[in-house]
Amino acid sequence: MSLDDLLRLSRCQWCGSESFSFVVEKEQWRLEACKNCQLIVLNPRPTPEYFQRLYDPVQQYDYQVNGERYITLADQFIGAYLSLIKGFERYVSPGKLLEIGSAVGFFLEAARRRGWQPQGVELSRGGADYCREHFGIDVFCGKLVDAPFEANSFDCVVAIHTLEHIDEPVVFLKRAIQVLRPGGLMFIEIPYLREDDVLNGLASRDGLELPNHLTHFTAASLTMVLTGLGIEILRSEASENLQVWARKRVTEGPTVGASRPGFFQRMFSSRSR
Ligand SMILES: [Zn+2]
Distance, CA of 105 to CA of 99 (rounded, Å)? 9
* pLDDT class of 256 with cuts at 50, 70, 90: very low
Please tell me the distance between residue 45's alpha carbon and the centre of ligand 1 in angstroms: 17
3-state helix, strand, coil in the chain (%, to 5): 35, 25, 35
Ligand 1 centre distance from Cα of residue 27 (Å): 25
Percent of all residues in the chain with a pLDDT value above 70, rounded to a whole number: 90
pLDDT in tens, 181-210: 999 999 999 999 998 888 888 877 888 999
CA-to-CA distance for 96 and 157, rounded, in angstroms? 9
Q: Map residue 171 onto helix, strand or coil.
A: helix
**Whether residue 100 has pLDDT greater than 80:** yes
Distance 269 CA to ligand 1 centre (A): 42
CA of 260 to the centre of ligand 1 (A): 30
Distance 34 CA to ligand 1 centre (A): 5
Beta-bridge mates of residue 237 = 243
Cα 22 to averaged position of ligand 1 atoms, centre (Å): 14
Highest mean pLDDT of the ranges 62-66, 203-207, 259-263: 62-66
| pLDDT band at 258; cut points 50, 70, 90 | very low
Please tell me whether the peptide bond between 44 and the residue prior to it is cis, using omega within 30 degrees of 0.
Answer: yes
**Residues 246, 229 contacting (CB under 8 angstroms):** no
Give the type of residue at 26: K
Distance CA 226, CA 254 (A): 14
Ion ligand 1, residue ranges at CB < 5 A: 12, 14-15, 17, 34, 36-37, 39
CA of residue 221 to ligand 1 center, whole Å: 10
Q: Which amino acid appears at position 85 of this protein?
A: I
Distance 194 CA to ligand 1 centre (A): 19
As a whole number of angstroms, the distance between CA 187 and CA 174 comes to 14
CA-CA distance, 115 to 130, in Å (whole number)?
21
- CATH number for the domain formed by residue range(s) 3-261: 3.40.50.150
| pLDDT for the residue numbered 198 | 87
Half-sphere exposure of 69 (CA within 13 A, CB side): 8
Count Cβ atoms below 10 Å from residue 250 Cβ, excluding itself: 11
Report the separation in Å between the CA atom of 149 and the middle of ligand 1, taken as the mean of its atom positions. Answer: 29
Q: Is the dihedral of CA 56, 57, 61, 63 positive or negative?
A: negative
CA of 160 to the centre of ligand 1 (A): 24
- Is residue 255 pLDDT above 70, yes or no? no
pLDDT tens for 30-57 read: 999 999 999 999 999 999 999 999 999 9
CA of 13 to the centre of ligand 1 (A): 7
What is the rounded CA–CA span in Å between residue 211 and residue 77? 26
Domain range list for the chain: 3-261
Q: Where are the beta strands (DSSP E) in 20-104?
A: 20-26, 29-34, 40-42, 45-46, 64-65, 68-69, 96-100
The CA 19 to ligand 1 mean position distance, Å, reads 8
Nearest 10 degrees: Cα torsion 215, 55, 178, 11: 30
Q: At what angle do helices 169-179 and 219-228 cross, to 10 degrees?
A: 50
